[in-house]
Chains A and B, each alone.
Chain A
Amino acid sequence: MNQAILQFLKRFDFSFIGSMSAIFLVGVLNLYSATHSQSHEGLDSLYKSQIGWYLISLFTAIGISFLNPKTFERFAYFGYLTTLFLVLLVLLMGKVGMGAQRWLILGPIRMQPSEFMKMGLVLALARYFTKVYPERQLGFKDLIIPAIITAIPAVMVIVQPDLGTGMLLVFIFCLMIFYKRLKWKTIVSLGVIGLVSGVLMYNFGLREYQKKRIHTFIDPYEDAKGSGYNAIQSEIAIGSGRLFGKGFKNSSQASLNYLPENHTDFVFAIFNEEHGFFGSVFLVILYLVFFMRMIWLATSVQRFFDSVLIIGIMSIFFWHAFINMAMVSGLLPIVGIPLPLMSYGGSSMLTFGVGVGIATSISNSRNFFN
């Protein structure tokens, strides 16, 4: 019996859960540091509930890792439709927060279904690509149905309005079709179309505050109403960290309270201020290890569905991490995208846990059935 457990533990792939825990550890310390001086706003105990969410996500990940990976394929569309339904529910009866409806309240639990929607989309796309000519290189025609699968939730999320998450769904879609061997020719023409529609979208489709963010991004110093303030203060925070940072709990920018959301979207700036360039290199490497391990897994599984699914999950977290870091450091306009495991937020953490659980389950099946 002991032998069996030992055997099991040997074959159990701890790399994903380990990687998640390492980033979380950095994240929760940083969260504590960013909020410790804000007792008057009741933010100083956020790190405790973040730990709670981590534990929930950890158990979710471990639970899912025991599932047979075939389950994911079987329930792919079901998962997609369920999350789609939740997003619809938010649209109909969501709680208004920060001027947008993003939350769904179920008793004591507030959840943000658009977070789970990403996972639902990835499942559906993986399933679709596996069933329909899995060997073919994708052309325009092959994109129609996957594009519809993506567009329905994307539009619903954008009208919430949550432009950031909506765009994220589209980006995830892009990475997945790239992996599913989209023809280079098509990639180029899609790029052109994207550029044109982007311009059109900007002119007709964006709300005033969204436009303002883009303006602010293009030239934060030219913004009339002072919304470039956040971007500039964020840059000051990062820059003032220099090589080694000011040290734990020493962020002066955070205590100046210049950002109303320095515990969510702007934690990376605080991290940079306190730990400097070397700290960031360390953090980026942690993320990179996680992503590379995912890609490695995608190329070493036996079932094509698993492979596409892993790439999809990886792209969720990649986009989150990349967009957040880029926006905080002034490379992209400021959109509300949290940094996985670093920003405060339960739904986002739980999604990460589900992703890690799926990856572990798939990785384990490789070991167990070989």
Chain B
Amino acid sequence: MFGEEELVKIHKERATILSYIITAAFGLILSRLWYLQVYRGETLHNYSIQNRLRKEVVWAPRGLIYSRDDQLLVDNIPRFDAILTPQFLIDAEKTLGKLSKILNTDVSSIKQILKKNSNQAKYRPIIVKKNISFGELAQIETQNAELPGVSVDTFISREYTDKEIGAHLLGYISEISQVQLPKLRQRDKMDYRLGDFIGQFGIEEQLDRYLRGENGHEFVEVDARGRRKRYINTDNLFKGIEDEKPLSGMNVKLTIDRDMQLAAFNSLEGKVGGVIAIAIDSGEVLTMVSRPSFDPSQFSRGLTPEYWRSLVGNKEHPLRDRNIQEHFSPGSTFKAITGIAAFEKGEIDENTEVNCGGSFRLGRKVYHCWKKEGHGPTNLVKAIRESCNVYFQKAANRMDIDDLSYYAKHFGMGSRTGISLPREVSGLIPSKEWKKKRYGQEWQAGETLSCAIGQSYVLASTIQMAISYAAIANGGKIYRPYVVKDIYDTDGELIKTFTPELLSEIKLKNPKTLKYVREGLFQVVNNPKGTAFARRGQGILMAGKTGTSQVKSASADKVYQKCELMDYESRHHGLFVGFAPYDNPKIAAAAIVEHGCHGSSAATPVVEAVITQYMKKYHPEIYLQNLEKDKSIRDSWVKSLRAAAQPVTAPAPDSSDE
């Protein structure tokens, strides 16, 4: 056996060898450094000074977006920025003077831009002017030699063909900000970089991973004066360093029709509101427009502070989507649901008559009908047609709120429809349990009466109203609304296609329920006494319901005040929800016009315009037939009027609903 010290001693030889090995290893490093720094030092030094190989991102072209009728809605268009790299500025005064002349600005404003960016590294280019014209581009390029440090950056701008039309649906892209970066990286598990573009709203946001593609890179050589050139393979040094081509994003085809969008947008001219239309047998969204709107192209170009201020400072909130991101009291449009619930529960049938004397008293509270003198004896069809509050409140008084919410929920309200667009609101259908949880209070019978006419706690969005009326038209089927039809790759190969998805179907016990509710809805539009008769349109054979959504709860004496006389802010929202054609339903649509006072005058024409455009374009033969049917309907009521031998005119539109 060895002692500890001998053990150390016998290993001394190896330790010595180790010290030689280590010395030799570092000797090797130093000789390599000698080779690089002394033997090739001059060459490499020149490279570092004169030739700067820079790896630059080549942006992937973002996928295009088409409408269902194959029209290009979103395109990529190249634009140019004038940029300046301070590091390469030689004679600042002279260069800036020349540049300011070309760009039509003054030197001091360019200097201001430089000053604002003076804390960043000098090799980083600064954008002097965004989106320069072709003329400016040509001048900068031709005077390149006299403009050291100035160059032009190409940039693919996202352009939206119809600008403001459907902006909320299509959305926009913009640069990822410093604040967003960590959150987005976390959310998508993607290695985003500062300045990458990403969809921030609407389809652009929802389908970002399909649309974005994959960026490539290229190597550019930049000379000492900041002029960029493609590298030329003069030396082995850069041999084989290759670019990577970007991968284009996928193209998307929507369920949206461009002509209907246009019709919807025009019909909302001068109004604040939104309209949405869906196909009854599939849930395809055909139209989705909200006004006021914004120009999404501005976002990808880099918003100017003025434009941003004009959006944010606008009281009408152009950035807000009125169809899926907002909800409101559905007002009388909700009465169809109340009618269905009461009918199904057996509380009313088609013959049940209620005498409307203009008000209904429950306990100490009086509930007014919109018609001061009352509707007189009223059955279900008449109640819907003339939007009688008292009828539905009496019917609701026999029911429980939970019965009402059962049917409302099965007709698509009170929860998100599941449309694949960001930030959908859920609306609200109250129940006893909900109130207990929310307010810790018991449900009051009077609240049921308010809910029955779509007020109090009840909230819905236009998309929810549209699918619930679609369900009334199709027998209780709720489809998930969707806006994307197909996704194609750049070779036109179909990658993904979306099909209708039946979410739920309510089987009504009484086959007469929908029959009489539909009849009521039909008369709203096609009977002279109907609240929307004056705005019925032609050739569409529409059924529907008007409504007003009270912005401020009115006291008794104010109920009858003329809406137009109130402050703009206090005026009611006008609503209309309908489907068409009545005898062969294809399309359902809902519109809201904020502070529009009446459903009939404000919102009905919007829905009518959209549906007319749809019928003309997709069902021209039915449209022609319905024109005939319209004629016979008109003849028959003219005849009946003559028979009554009374000179009756059609009710004035502005006073014809609650």
A residues in contact (CB < 8 Å) with B: 37-40, 134-135, 175, 178-181, 219-226, 228-229, 232-233, 235-243, 252-253, 255-256, 258, 272-273, 276-277, 280-281, 284, 287-288, 291-292, 295, 298-304, 307, 311, 318, 322, 325-326, 329-331
Q: Cβ of A226 and Cβ of B243 under 8 Å apart?
A: yes
Main secondary structure of the interface of A (DSSP, over half): helix
Look across to chain A and name the residue whose beta carbon is closest to the beta carbon of B23: A288
Mask of B361-404 contacts with A, CB within 8 angstroms, 1/0: 00000000000000000000000000000000000000000000
Q: Is the CB of B240 within 8 A of A238?
A: no
Other 4 A-B pairs with CB < 8 A, given A236-B48, A243-B37: A226-B241, A232-B241, A252-B123, A280-B37
B236→A298 contact, CB < 8 A = no
Query: B36 touching A298 by the CB < 8 A rule?
Result: no
Q: Is the CB of B36 within 8 A of A233?
A: no
* CB of B178 to closest CB in A, whole Å: 9
Contact B11 A295 (CB under 8 A): no
CB contacts (< 8 Å) of A228 on chain B: these are 240-241
| Chain B interface, DSSP helix/strand/loop, else mixed | helix
Contact between B22 and A318, CB atoms less than 8 A apart: yes
Shortest CB–CB separation between residue B155 and chain A, in angstroms? 20
Tally the A-B contacts, defined by beta carbons under 8 Å: 176
Q: How far is the CA of A318 from the CA of B26 in the complex (A)?
A: 10
Task: Flag if A242 contacts B41 (CB, 8 Å).
Answer: yes
Contact A238 B15, CB 8 Å, known A253-B48, A325-B29 = no
Which of these, B26, B42, B121, contacts A284 with CB under 8 Å?
B26
Chain A residues with CB below 8 A from B242, complex form: 223-226
Are B37 and A276 interface neighbours, CB within 8 A? yes
Q: Is the CB of A329 within 8 A of B36?
A: yes
Q: Give the docked Cα–Cα distance between A135 and B7 (Å).
A: 6
- Measured in the bound complex, the distance between the Cα atoms of B1 and A228 in whole Å is 55
* A221–B236 alpha-carbon span in the complex (Å): 7
Task: Assess whether A272 is in contact with B33, with CB atoms less than 8 Å apart.
Answer: yes
Interface pick from B52-60, B334-342, B498-506: B52-60
**Chain A residues positioned under 8 Å from B121 (CB to CB):** 37-38, 255
A272:B37 contact, CB within 8 angstroms: yes
Q: Is B92 an interface residue (CB 8 A)?
A: no
With A223-B241, A226-B242 as known contacts, state yes or no: A236 contacts B120, CB within 8 Å. no
Asked whether, in the complex, the Cβ of B49 is within 8 Å of the Cβ of A252, the reply is yes
A39 and B119 in contact (CB under 8 A), knowing A179-B14, A226-B217, A237-B48?
A: yes
* Nearest CB of chain A from residue B337's CB, rounded to whole Å: 50
Q: How far is the CB of A256 from chain B (nearest CB, A)?
A: 6
Which of A239, A256, A280, A298 is within 8 Å of B15, CB to CB?
A298
Judge whether A232 and B238 touch: CB under 8 Å: yes
Q: How many whole Å from A123's CB to the nearest CB in chain B?
A: 18
How far apart are the CA atoms of A240 and B44 in the complex, in Å? 5
Nearest CB of chain B from residue A17's CB, rounded to whole Å = 21
Q: Which 9 A-B pairs have the closest CB atoms?
A: A239-B44, A240-B48, A242-B41, A304-B7, A240-B45, A239-B36, A277-B37, A37-B121, A221-B240
List chain B residues, Cβ under 8 A from A292.
Answer: 19, 22
* B638 CB within 8 Å of chain A: no
CA A38 to CA B22, docked complex, whole Å: 36
Complex Cα spacing A242 to B40, Å: 8
Contact A284 B22 (CB under 8 A): no
B18 CB within 8 Å of chain A: yes
User: Which B residues touch A240, using CB under 8 A?
Assistant: 41, 44-45, 47-49
